[in-house]
């Protein structure tokens, strides 16, 4: 044989999933670094008046600031253990998902990328860097970041995918119980 072994279809699919996860991690970390380099903590730059600003904050808690008032030691142990559990669970789901289930696998790869992005922040800074701030006048949605967006979009796509997948599968029970 003259050429090397071509990549198998399975290897190409896994490479694509790795690229999705890695791209999300990279984009998340690059955007956070840019915000930290160019803005002061709590600085806000309006992008769309009365709707969206870039606002540099640090969130020591979970989603929506949950557990932000807890001690640093408790948060580090809690988030460390939950992150390990979540990453293990996502990895297991990804490995057990059928290779032909592209929507499901890409959704999980996105969630995984987001989870790793926020875990990197927790390990480096003890908190997560957030900067996407949506609001209407004085009513603000909690600020978030690229990793949070990837997790949210991945979960939404996964829920929709599983809802439609279950609806489209033929019922095997009714088919096997009917007599010709």
Residue 180 has pLDDT above 60, yes or no: no
Tokens of 36: 């930290």
Q: Show me where the domains of the chain are located.
A: 15-166
β partners of residue 129 = 58
Residues 6+ apart with CB under 8 A from 20: 106, 109, 110, 113
User: What was the pLDDT predicted at 120?
Assistant: 95
- Of 28, 121, 133, 148, which residue is the catalytic one? 148
Q: Could you report the per-residue pLDDT of 69-90, keeping only the tens digit for each?
A: 667 777 777 777 888 898 999 9
Q: Residue 75 in contact with residue 84, Cβ under 8 Å?
A: no
Q: Return the higher-pLDDT residue of 50 and 166.
A: 50
Angle at 113 between CA 60 and CA 147, to 5 degrees: 40
Mean pLDDT (whole number) for 113-122: 94
Catalytic residue chosen out of the listed positions 28, 121, 130, 133: 130
Chain segment 8-37, per-residue pLDDT in tens:
888 888 899 999 999 999 999 999 999 999
Active-site residue flag, 130: yes
pLDDT given at position 171: 54
Q: What is the mean pLDDT of the chain?
A: 86
Provide the pLDDT for residue 10.
80
Whether residue 178 has pLDDT greater than 60:
no
Take residue 157 and report the two structure tokens written for it: 């796509």
Share of the chain above pLDDT 90, in %: 59
CB 28 within 8 A of CB 117: yes
Tell how far CA 137 is from the center of its chain. 28
* Of 152, 112, 109, 114, the residue nearest 28 (C-alpha): 114
């Amino acid at each position: 044989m003259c050429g090397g072994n071509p990549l198998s279809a399975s290897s190409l699919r896994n490479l694509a999933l790795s690229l999705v996860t890695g791209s999300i991690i990279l984009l998340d970390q690059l955007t956070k670094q840019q915000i930290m380099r160019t803005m002061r903590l709590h600085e806000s730059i309006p992008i769309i008046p009365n709707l969206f600003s870039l606002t540099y904050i640090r969130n020591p808690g979970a989603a929506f600031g949950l557990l932000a008032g807890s001690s640093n030691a408790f948060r580090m142990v809690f988030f460390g253990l939950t992150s390990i559990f979540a990453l293990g669970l996502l990895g297991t789901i990804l490995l057990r998902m059928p290779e032909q289930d592209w929507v499901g696998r890409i959704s999980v790869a996105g969630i995984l990328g987001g989870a790793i992005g926020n875990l990197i922040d927790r390990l480096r800074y003890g908190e997560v860097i957030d900067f996407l701030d949506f609001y209407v006048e004085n009513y603000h949605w909690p600020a978030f970041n690229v990793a949070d967006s990837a997790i949210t979009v991945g979960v939404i796509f996964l829920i929709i995918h599983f809802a439609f997948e279950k609806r489209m599968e033929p019922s095997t029970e009714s088919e096997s119980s009917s007599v010709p």
